[in-house]
Structure formats: structure tokens, C-alpha cells
Amino acid sequence: MRVRAARSLVLAIDLQDKLLAMLGDERKETLLHNVRRFLNSAKALELPILLSAQYPKGLGAIDPSLHDFGPTFEKTEFSCHANPALRNALRSRVDRRQICLLGVETHICVLQTALDLQAQGWQVLVAIDAVASRELRQSEWALERLRHAGVILSSTESIFYEWMEDAADPRFRQLAPAWR
């Protein structure tokens, strides 16, 4: 399956203070760098971006650097698809059936969201360098399970270049330096 910008949307899952803090400083900064670069490109290409926040009263707010990328849906469900407001927001985008997932934690909310969306007919991609779990092994096991379930695993850079399709696109010159 080729990834097309015109058919894609992005869902950033639970990139919240307390969940990010559990990763440790180095992993957190690497993850946020990859997430911001990916979301900046998606925004420049005018892709819809949605964010979720798992129980913000207990887990804190979305990282402040991500607030302006799109609407945030508060939830208690582990699967974003199980949240009625978020599910309706996704369903309203009938023109976009490819969904790129990123966020935390890979083995909980990312995994359940990916499997539920795939079961509903979405073409699901997980940006493997923009997801994480507290324990690295948990993330690895979840990605292996997703691969066996037929979810597409790809890097943020690879997805970006598929979205661009052509170096002659004037937006490419603007966005490419972030990927070098």
C-alpha cells in the first residue's frame, strides 16, 4: 500500500506530561523531536491532525509544543476508536482512509487504537520512530503483534517522502531540511 497525503490523516496519541516523563529525558526528547517534525510536515501539507489525551486529570496535559497542531480529545478509553467523540471525528473524514498513528504507549493505547481502526477498514500505519512505551520491550512486542496483524509499520521519514511524492513540489524545498 502506498501512502498518499490526499488520503491521510494523523492521530497523535496521549503525548502527555506524565506519560512522557516515564520515558526518561533522552527517549522523551528523541520522541518529541520525531513527533514535532512529522506533525509540522503534516500541517504544512494540510493533513488533518487529531490529538488524544488519556485521563488528563491524572496524566497531565498534552506537551505544550503540540497544542497548535489540532483538536485534542480527552478520553478514558484505551482505544481512541472506542471514544465516541474521537470516533465521530474520524468517521467525518470519509475522504481520508489512511491513518498514521504516533504517540504513547505503544503496547496500550497505540496498539488497541490500531487494531480497532484496522477492524473498521482503515489503512493503519504506525510511525515506529514516533511511538514509545515505558519499557522498550513492551513497545517491541506491540510492534511485532501489529506487524503480524497486518498494520503497516514505517518510519516518519519514509511516510513524509511518500506524502511528498515529487521533489519538484515547492513544499518539498521548504520541508526537506528538517529531514536531513
Domain ranges of the chain: 5-179
What is the pLDDT at residue 15? 99
pLDDT at 73: 98
**Of the candidates 160, 165, 154, which has an alpha carbon nearest to the alpha carbon of residue 180?**
160
Interval 90-105: pLDDT, tens: 999 989 999 999 999 9
Residue 164 pLDDT class (50, 70, 90 cuts): very high
d(CA 136, CA 177): 29
Report the share of the chain in percent with pLDDT over 90: 97
Q: Which residues contact 68 (CB under 8 A, 6 or more apart)?
A: none
The domain 5-179 having CATH identifier 3.40.50.850: the answer here is yes
For 166-177, the pLDDT digits (tens) are 999 999 999 999
pLDDT in tens, 46-101: 999 999 999 999 999 999 999 999 999 999 999 999 999 999 999 999 899 999 99
Structure confidence at residue 18 (pLDDT):
97
